[in-house]
């Protein structure tokens, strides 16, 4: 969120699907430095689209080197809020605890650093609650039955070791990806 409009458009789609009762979003986590600014933008966007009940959490720098902040665009609706969780990981933990088994879809449209960390730290909760993982990235062509390997898509390359881990571990755990 904040670097190009595709993430904002994803929130617009999420809002429409929520209004139609097709999806019930339980959390949005922002990642990539400056992740706090991204959280403010996400919170303002979601409030403007009628999703003030969906919590926003601040994720990690997403593999961006310490001290490096990527440019993000500003918006009048970007705002701080006490409704922004300082720990995106804690928010995901709480959100997954609140849902029935095998009901959550994890949508990753940025770096996979936070997803990898969550799986490593909370694998049992992840496998018991997550029905599938949807990734915006790509894979190297493989033969039928071979493991998926992340390609050079931007989201994969933000933290390629985390991307490799997420693809591989989801396949090992039998979580559709």
pLDDT of res. 148: 86
Q: What pTM was computed for the model?
A: 0.90
Q: What is the pLDDT along the chain (177 residues), one digit of tens a residue?
A: 766 688 889 999 999 999 999 999 999 999 988 899 999 999 999 999 999 999 999 999 888 777 777 777 778 888 788 889 999 999 999 999 999 999 999 999 999 999 999 999 999 999 999 999 999 988 887 777 788 889 999 899 999 999 999 999 999 999 998
- Tokens 């009762």 locate to 21
- Cis peptide preceding 2, ω within 30 of 0: no
CA atoms within 13 A on the CB side of 79: 11
Helix then strand count (H, E) for the chain reads 7, 5
Please provide residue 113's backbone torsions phi and psi, each rounded to the nearest 5 degrees: -55, -50
Structure tokens belonging to residue 128: 């018991």
Strand partners, 135: 108
* Cα–Cα distance, 117 to 162 (Å, whole number): 8
């Amino acid at each position: 969120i904040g670097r190009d409009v595709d993430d904002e458009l994803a929130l617009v789609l999420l809002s429409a699907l929520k209004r139609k009762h097709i999806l019930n979003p339980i959390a949005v986590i922002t990642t990539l430095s400056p992740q706090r600014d991204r959280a403010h933008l996400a919170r303002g966007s979601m409030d403007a689209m009628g999703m003030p009940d969906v919590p926003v959490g601040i994720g990690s720098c997403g593999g961006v080197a310490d001290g490096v902040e990527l440019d993000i665009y500003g918006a009048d609706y970007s705002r701080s809020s006490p409704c922004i969780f300082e720990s995106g990981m804690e928010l995901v933990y709480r959100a997954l605890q609140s849902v029935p088994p095998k009901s959550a879809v994890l949508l990753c449209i940025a770096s996979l650093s936070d997803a990898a960390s969550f799986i490593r730290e909370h694998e049992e909760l992840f496998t018991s609650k997550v029905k599938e993982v949807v990734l915006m990235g790509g894979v190297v062509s493989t033969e039928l039955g071979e493991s998926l390997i992340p390609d050079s898509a931007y989201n994969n390359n933000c933290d390629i070791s985390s991307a490799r881990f997420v693809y591989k571990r989801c396949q090992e755990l039998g979580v559709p990806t």
